[in-house]
Amino acid sequence: MNTTEVQHVDVVIVGGGLAGLSAAAYLSEKGKKVALLEKGLLGGRAVTINLKGFSFNFGAHAIYGRDTSILRTFEKELRIDVDWRDFKPDKAKYDIGNELTSVPANVKGLFRTKLMKGADKLKFTFEIFKTLTHMEKGHPHLSIKKWMDQHHLTEDVKEMMLTLASSNFFTSEPEKIPSDVYFDYYRRLFTTNKPVAYVGGGWQSLINKFVTVIERNGGEIFTKARVESVTTEGDRIVEVQSKKGNLRAKEFVFCAPPSELSKMFVDTNLEHSVKHYAHYEPSYVFVYDLGLKNRIDVPYSYVYDKHNKMFITDISFYDEGCVPDGGQLLQAIAYIKKEELEDKERIAEIEGKIEAMYDKHFEGWRDELVVPRKSKRASAQEIKWKMNQEPMPVYFPDYRNAFFAGDWCEGKGQLSELSFTSAYEASQLILQKDKDQ
């Protein structure tokens, strides 16, 4: 496609992250002629970079509740094989200062953890039981902190619930999570047989599989093709303009963040709606990865520092293909508040605490270091709508053929699951239109 021609397809997908790729793969598999436009390289925030034999993911490639994940549906219907690497709960520990204790990710961990005493463990178990049996559903306008205060929980039980939320929701402010979101998440987590899993080969292996599906069905992918504007006629979008040419289609799926969409939709009826979500803030984290030439063996693959709200995952324990023979890849993530991003002293302090955590739990890492990778303001989620910010809808009534997907949209689960579920929903709405005609 050159800059002068206009190409016609069934569906144009804007954005080549997990949402855009999964939507493009699914729709092409269902018989749609698709074209995907990505402003940079495929993967979005799920890209992988290779340095000195180590494959660094931008963020942890974890899937929560994998036996109920929509990725299982994609795996089956797209005829792809996902290399699932299941998390081992018995190798997950909380650092509580002077000792390590079990993470209550399952019943065994609950009874082993030292974060609570006997009576509080029973109380916590009862709260989880109410979650599993739908006795407790929470409320979207009641934070988990206010819910706990209303139910007069002990301080230890409150602390346990917030610690779980902080480590699983990638936030330093777990008390702000809406109570309905909290209970829905843990209902899924505690009823699944596979609470956490990783993808062998990282996000890149999954990206490659989606690309294979798109190409075998005649779909086209254009990278470094930023969409600059859209053309509308009445209540429909008819064309998108990019540096690599223009594309016309019957349906459009936009899988770019609201901040980018607001620029594309200037002077359209969707401009105001999208701008509303563009003002929201991402969930920020400090990611500090280490590529080591030799493994440092410890009896755990995940350790969460309860006081500092940061954790280390031994990525290579689950995905040995991301390192050279005998090597090790460790990933530390610390939560950062928006107001800390421009505070150089605070950022330096966080970096120092991460290195101290490495010193404590992976002694000798400095001698084995081959390559570090730091990202001091990575975005774990584009808008933290789980924290009293509305999710962006999958479609608006202003236009009949515009759909939206990404972790900023309405969907189920956390992080990547939001991208997959919103992409699946958008795809289903498009396919349903054919059935209705």
Report which DSSP code applies to 245. E
Residue 432 sits at the vertex; the CA angle it makes with 427 and 433, to the nearest 5 degrees, is: 105
The token duo for 268 is: 């359209």
Q: What is the pLDDT of residue 356?
A: 96
Q: What is residue 383's predicted lDDT score, i.e. its pLDDT? A: 58
pLDDT for position 116: 56
CA 356 vs. chain centroid, Å, equals 27
| DSSP classification of residue 393 | P
Task: Kindly calculate the radius of gyration of the chain based on its CA atoms and give it in whole angstroms.
Answer: 22
Which domains are seen in the chain, by residue range? 6-81+201-280+385-436 (3.50.50.60), 103-193 (1.10.405), 283-381 (3.90.660.50)
The two three-digit tokens of residue 66, written as one number: 């994998």
Among 308, 302, 353, CA closest to 330: 302
Closest CA relative to residue 388, chosen from 151, 137, 147, 142: 142
pLDDT at 191: 62
Residue 385 pLDDT: 47
Which DSSP category does 105 fall into?
Answer: S
Dihedral of CA atoms 252, 256, 259, 261 in degrees, nearest 10, equals -20
pLDDT of residue 129: 61
Q: pLDDT tens digits, the chain, 437 residues: what are they?
A: 555 566 899 999 999 999 999 999 999 999 999 999 999 989 888 888 899 999 988 766 778 777 778 999 999 999 999 999 888 878 888 888 888 887 765 555 555 666 656 556 566 666 666 665 666 666 777 888 888 888 777 776 777 777 777 766 666 677 777 777 777 766 666 666 667 788 888 889 999 999 999 999 999 999 999 999 999 998 899 999 998 889 999 999 999 999 899 999 998 888 888 888 887 777 788 999 999 999 999 999 999 898 888 999 999 999 998 999 999 999 999 988 878 888 899 999 999 999 999 999 999 999 999 999 998 877 766 555 455 577 899 999 888 899 999 988 988 877 788 899 999 999 999 999 877 76
Give 133's strand partners: none
Contacts of residue 102, Cβ cutoff 8 Å, sequence gap at least 6: 90, 92, 93, 94, 108, 109, 112, 113, 114
